[in-house]
Structures are given as C-alpha cells and as structure tokens.
Amino acid sequence: MGMSLPVFKPLTPADVRRIDQTSRQILEHIGIRIKDDAILDKLKKAGAQVDHHNQRMRFKEKLLDELLSRAPSQFTLYSRDEKNNLPLGEGEVYFANGGRVFRILDIANGGYRLTLLKDIARTATLVNHLENIRFYVIACQAHDVEPQHYHLNDFCNAFNNTTKHVMGGCDNLEGVRQVWKLASLIAGGEERLREKPFFSVITNPVSPLTIGSNAANILSFCATHGIPVTCASAPIAGATSPVTLAGTLAQMHAEALAGVAMTQVFSPGAKVLYGAAPATMDLRNIEFAMGSTEMGMMGASAVQLAKLYHLPIRASAGVTEAKRPDIQSGVEKSFSNLMVAMAGADCILLAAGMLDSGNSISYEQYAIDNEIIGMVYRVLSGIRVNKDTLSLDVIEQAGPGGNYVMEEHTVDHMMEEFFYPGLSVRCNFDIWEERGHPDMLSRANDMVHNILAKREEGKEGFLGPDLLPEIRGAFPEIQDI
C-alpha cells in the first residue's frame, strides 16, 4: 500500500504554468534576500545576480533551469537497519510526524506541560512501532537541555529509540555539524554515512523571500556533506504572503525553488527535497489556521509544482487547531492528509501527533493518526481488478442465495482487500457496553501505554551497550539516554 495514483489535482496544467512563470518573475526581478555575504559571493560566482548592499540575489531563467536540472529526481532516505528505506521520486507516499513543538497534552490529568528530552525518546519509540508513520521527525523542544546542546541530544535520543529514518530541524550550523559527527560515529565513518545517510535536515526560509545566514549555511553544509536537506517554505496566506491562494503558491514556489537551486550551487547533484508548508490565517480574529481546508489544497498544489521539475517534495498535512484528540482533530487531519497524499507527495510531514496549530503533541494522537494514515494508504492502493479478484468462479459456486464467508477465496483475500483498524470500535452496542464504552482515545491510550511499557523493560535502546560508551566519551554534552 502507498502507491499514489495520483488522483487529486487542484490546479489545471495551465494554472501550474502560470504560477510557475510568476515565481520565475519573482526570482528574476524581485529576488531573494540572503543574509550572508559569503553565501552571496558563492552565488555570484555561480552566475546569480547579486546586490550586496541590499543582500539580494536573483536568478535569471537560464541559470535557474541549469541549477534545477542538477537536482536529483530520485534518491533514498535510508533507515539504519535498511528495513524502512524510503525511495523518493518513485510514486510512493510516506507519512511522518511533526516537530519542534513546546507542549504535550497529558491525557491523564487533562492538561499541558512543557516537553522534555524523555518525550523525544518516547515519540521516537511510538513511531518505531506504528507501521504507517514511515519515518521520525524530531518531535519537540527539550526544555531540560541547554540550547547549545539541543540538536545533539535530540538526534541521539531519536537514534537510540528508532531505526527508521530521522529528520529534524536545526537552528544553526553548529547544531548540524554536531549531529553529522554523531551520525558519522554511529555509521562507522563519514564515507559510510555519505553513502547511506540515515538522517536528514530541515531548514526554512523566512517568508517573504528571505533566507537567513543560518539557513543558507545549513543548506551549504548538508549539500557538501551528502546529507539530504529541505528548505521548507512556510508562508502564511494573509500574513507573510498574499491572502490569495494563488499568490501564496507563487511566493512559496519561488522560495522553494531558490532553496533547491542554492544547494546545486554548493554541490551539484546534492540530495534536496522541494519544501512546502503553506498555511493560512483566520483573518476574522488574526489566528493561525494550520488545520484549514485551504492548507490541504495548497499542499496538494505544491506537489504539482514540485513535480513540474521532477523534484521529490516534502509537503505538510495532518495539522489541526483542536486542543485535544476530538471530532475537530479527526476531521481536519483526515481531509488534509487525504488531499496531499492523493496528489502524490513523496513525504508528508506534520501528519501525526500534532495538535493546537502545530504547537503541541499528544502520545495518543500519534496512535490515532497512525490509523487515519492507514485508511489513507488503503485509498491510495486502489482496487485491484483481475480475473481472480473479479471472482466469477466463486460467484458461480455460491450461486443465488449463497454466502461467501467460508469460501477459500475469502480467506485468501480478506487481509489484503480490507483495512482493519486497531482503534476504531467495531462491535454491537451490547458488547460495547460490556467492555466499558471504549472509544478511539481510550484504546489509543492503552496502545501507547503498552508500547512505552515494553520500551522501558528493554531500556538499552538501539545504539546498544558497545556504542553508547563510545558516544558518551565522544560527546560529553549528551545527557543520560
């Protein structure tokens, strides 16, 4: 399951061309502000038009085309055990959780608390067990870690609690450098990591049309060290981009293409994802609205724009304004996850665990979103039509008035034809009452408890007793894991 059809295209081919041409005009005539003179010098040497006084960089059409043509259309996000490798650009859709929030909902007491380092370990553990969440994104800010050691501790705890690919945002070049050194040690050397990088990095332009010094240098470091990277444009329609969806898409596309093009200046062929996380405002009360229908529509549109250049895309979906796992969260998450997946995004971030406009997470929401994503994958897999599935022989054998429950054909196909939810309640009312009125949230709570309890029993983690002492010796800044 997971092969996109794709079947949802909010933009016509003519729409895609007009948005793309507008974005090209932005890049050629308005330009991108780059807040780093050394980076501007590199871009100027590559042929970009540079205005140091205004810190502005512009790409003429010919140079832009040349740079974008260097970006790979296919590459793999590796897992450490290689059982969950993610080939990008081949039509598959991969969902991940969201990252760097500051609060977590504690279902037991109904309130929120600040996130800690243990929450990174626990969310990584959950993702490792939840089959539909295909890779892990550093989930939250560890308030019990000094800022200069955030990323080193974040990624180390992630690596120790999941073997799936790990992606994370980094605030500065030193943070990326620390994580690269850690990953190189785990991989058994820099060249082994370059060959099969099992982590990747997210950085962001600042809308409108600005790439800061940290973001630019992170792009350069990742490109030259073989680390997959995305410069994820995150404009907010009506606030940091035009209120119109088309205008926001044009600006977002320009920012995303600039990020891709810059990586190819730094290192031709560098592994880069087109990054898109457009959102909206509720302008009636100036509230951020990541769970809006329009965010899903723009996310799906971003896929069309990325695929115009055959670029793998890191899109966004599955976000909600709801403060708890409730009806609102289910509705908002399902619509955007389905829209962006049906458009054929390679990677869909923010899709699991997040609440409160991307400001909070919930362990239980991870489990619920895993089930929502499972349903989406079932939609993407479509309906198999062949001689065996058309079932003429079986229909003839059962005949008028027969049934199919005990047929061998039913047993052969029952597991692959249907999606079987683990949390949804499927029983009659009397049995439901006897079982104490379970619902998705209570069952998600039970699932989370069981997964984390088993992890606590193991304690050791995936890095193992041989590697952990070496890591602690090389990186004394890492807190106990």
pLDDT computed for residue 1 by the predictor: 44
Q: What is the pLDDT of residues 420-447, one digit of tens each?
A: 999 999 999 999 999 999 999 999 999 9
User: Phi and psi dihedrals of 460, rounded to 5?
Assistant: -60, -45
Say how many CA atoms lie within 13 Å of 419 toward its Cβ.
Answer: 20
Contacts of 278 (CB under 8 A, 6+ apart): 233, 234, 235, 236, 237, 241, 248, 249, 252, 295, 298, 299, 302, 316
The domain 69-381 having CATH identifier 3.20.20.480: the answer here is yes
The identity of residue 201, as a single letter, is: V
User: Phi and psi dihedrals of 61, rounded to 5?
Assistant: -60, -45
The residue among 7, 8, 9, 11 whose CA lies nearest residue 246 is 11
Question: Rounded mean pLDDT of 240-246?
Answer: 98
The residue among 85, 331, 36 whose CA lies nearest residue 203 is 36
User: Torsion over CA of 15, 21, 23 and 26, rounded to 10 degrees?
Assistant: -140
Q: What is the C-alpha separation between 332 and 322, in angstroms, rounded?
A: 9
pLDDT computed for residue 2 by the predictor: 44
Q: What residue segments make up the domains of the chain, in order of their start?
A: 69-381, 387-417
Mean pLDDT lowest for which of 207-216, 244-253, 335-344, 450-459?
Answer: 450-459
Question: Rounded mean pLDDT of 121-137?
Answer: 98
Residue with tokens 């600039």: 258
Q: What is the pLDDT of residues 321-354, one digit of tens each?
A: 999 999 999 999 999 999 999 999 999 999 999 9
Q: With 80 as the cut, is the pLDDT of residue 460 above it?
A: no
The token pair that represents 96 in the structure block: 């991940």
Question: Rounded mean pLDDT of 128-156?
Answer: 96
Q: What is the pLDDT of residues 143-186, one digit of tens each?
A: 999 999 999 999 999 999 999 999 999 999 999 999 999 999 99
